[in-house]
């Protein structure tokens, strides 16, 4: 099927967006209503209302044919190019898109893509489409308390019972939106007698299955959008296995590459932006200070470089292909920019950032400052990103590894 010209296609996108969304507000017009939080910090009832707003937009986008743009048509996508993705993102940025929650992003950009790429025909029919349209919501059951950044060291176990179904025991942590999810994409160790990456299998676990317990984790910002998930004798049918037994590491690395691409992309607001900092500086009458101007210029250049890098990575990616290690670069730039944005805002406000004085747009920056450190961990720590860039992009010698033996023979196992 011939690809539509991206520039001509923009007109169609712009017309559709104008029919479903309002034009974007400037930071000045947004005023004190501007959302500066990196991670959502809402009561449960407000979080549910936000989820429904996001789902309404995602369903409209899916029904209009603008979801999963680079995913092949036979996998449920639009079969377009990375240039179309960049064009859609640019057009979308001119409108008030409902602020996507972590659960929506995980469902559409991570779990749906993993199931679409690795799933069976039955899974594509029953789950992938429902995830892409957000008829079903899915969380990501990867991280564990004992594994840290070394995801391949996970200890959640899955054994196959006589009837063919799998019995899962273990614990996951830092799971965004688990309390609202219908399914979880879970990694479990199914073969401890091979090297740790080879013995992992992926599953879709119903979050209402007997033996699944979700416990919220209270964050320092006051919210509880992350959770611990305990799995005790959870029984999952083999038809919910994603990929072959032992293929879980490939599923995981592909999913994490999508996560880094999503984390580093420029079309979703996460925390405050350069425009918000500039509006803050103007409201405080600080833009004539030469040191402030220097800090603003540095922040502007870094934001522009990140946007250019995101665009370059998107345009050079193969259409429909899986994200490569370049996604680590955009993720690293995104977390660095969030940190620097918060630092400049804090320097501008001084003590105003630690107490609510009633001035619009000041104390709200605490949501950014308290959330930005977590973004250096989400989707793989900054240190892991630097390792990936060094080894897979710059082709530097890999770090020494002492864990080449079968998992069962490693210390602590």
| Residue positions annotated with a catalytic role | 259
Do residues 229 and 212 touch, judged by C-beta distance below 8 A?
A: yes
Phi, psi angles (nearest 5°) of residue 402: -115, 20
CA distance 345 to 350: 9
Task: Quote the radius of gyration of the chain (alpha carbons, Å).
Answer: 22
CA 123 to chain centre: 22
Query: For the stretch 298-334, what's the b/e string if a residue is b when 16 or more beta carbons lie within 10 angstroms of its beta carbon?
Result: ebeebbeebbebbbebbeebebbebbbbbbbbbbbbb
CA distance 71 to 109: 11
**Helix pair angle (82-92, 290-316), 10° resolution:** 140
- As beta bridge partners, residue 230 has 171, 213
CA angle 302/306/312 to nearest 5° reads 145
The DSSP H or E segment spanning 140 is strand 138-141
Do residues 191 and 246 touch, judged by C-beta distance below 8 A?
A: yes
Using DSSP's 3-state secondary structure scheme, residue 195 falls into: strand
Q: Token digits for 262?
A: 């999503």
Q: Token digits for 130?
A: 């429902």
Kindly provide the residue ranges of all beta strands, DSSP E only, lying in 150-283, ordered along the sequence.
157-160, 166-172, 183-189, 200-206, 212-217, 226-236, 241-242
Burial label for 400, CB within 10 Å (0-12, 13-18, 19+), is exposed
Phi, psi angles (nearest 5°) of residue 353: -75, -15
CA distance 263 to 323: 12
CA distances from 122 to 115, 117, 185, 242, 366 (A): 11, 13, 16, 11, 46
CA distance 67 to 65: 6
């Amino acid at each position: 099927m011939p690809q539509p010209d991206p520039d001509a296609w923009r007109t169609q996108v712009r017309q559709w967006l104008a029919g479903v969304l309002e034009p974007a507000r400037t930071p000045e017009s947004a005023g004190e209503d501007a959302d500066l939080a990196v991670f959502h910090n809402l009561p449960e009832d407000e979080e549910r209302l936000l989820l429904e707003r996001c789902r309404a937009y995602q369903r409209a986008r899916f029904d209009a044919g603008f979801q999963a743009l680079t995913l092949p048509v036979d996998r449920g996508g639009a079969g377009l190019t990375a240039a179309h993705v960049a064009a859609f993102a640019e057009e979308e940025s001119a409108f008030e898109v409902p602020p996507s929650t972590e659960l929506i992003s995980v469902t559409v950009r991570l779990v749906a893509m993993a199931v679409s790429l690795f799933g069976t025909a039955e899974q594509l029919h029953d789950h992938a489409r429902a995830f892409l349209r957000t008829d079903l919501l899915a969380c990501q059951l990867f991280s564990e308390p004992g594994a840290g950044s070394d995801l391949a060291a996970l200890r959640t176990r899955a054994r196959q019972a006589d009837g063919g179904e799998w019995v899962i025991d273990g614990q996951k942590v830092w799971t965004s939106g688990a309390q609202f999810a219908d399914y979880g994409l879970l990694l479990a160790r199914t073969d401890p007698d091979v090297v740790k990456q080879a013995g992992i299998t992926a599953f879709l676990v119903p979050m209402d299955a007997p033996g699944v317990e979700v416990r919220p984790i209270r964050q320092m910002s006051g919210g509880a959008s992350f959770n611990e998930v305990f799995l005790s004798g959870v029984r999952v049918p083999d038809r919910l296995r994603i990929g072959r037994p032992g293929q879980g590491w490939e599923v995981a690395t592909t999913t994490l590459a999508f996560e880094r691409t999503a984390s580093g992309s420029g079309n979703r607001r996460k925390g405050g932006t350069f425009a918000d900092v500039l509006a803050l500086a103007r409201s405080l009458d600080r833009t004539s200070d030469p040191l402030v101007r220097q800090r603003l210029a540095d922040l502007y250049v870094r934001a522009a470089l990140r946007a250019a890098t995101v665009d370059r990575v998107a345009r050079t990616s193969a259409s429909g292909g899986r994200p490569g290690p370049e996604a680590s670069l955009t993720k690293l730039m995104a977390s660095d920019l969030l940190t620097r944005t918060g630092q400049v805002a804090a320097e501008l406000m001084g003590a105003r950032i630690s107490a609510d004085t009633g001035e619009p747009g000041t104390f709200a920056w605490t949501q950014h400052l308290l959330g930005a450190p977590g973004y250096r961990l989400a989707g793989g720590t900054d240190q892991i990103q630097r390792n990936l860039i060094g080894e897979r992009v710059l082709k530097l010698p890999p770090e020494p590894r002492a864990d080449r033996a079968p998992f069962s023979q490693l210390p602590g196992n």
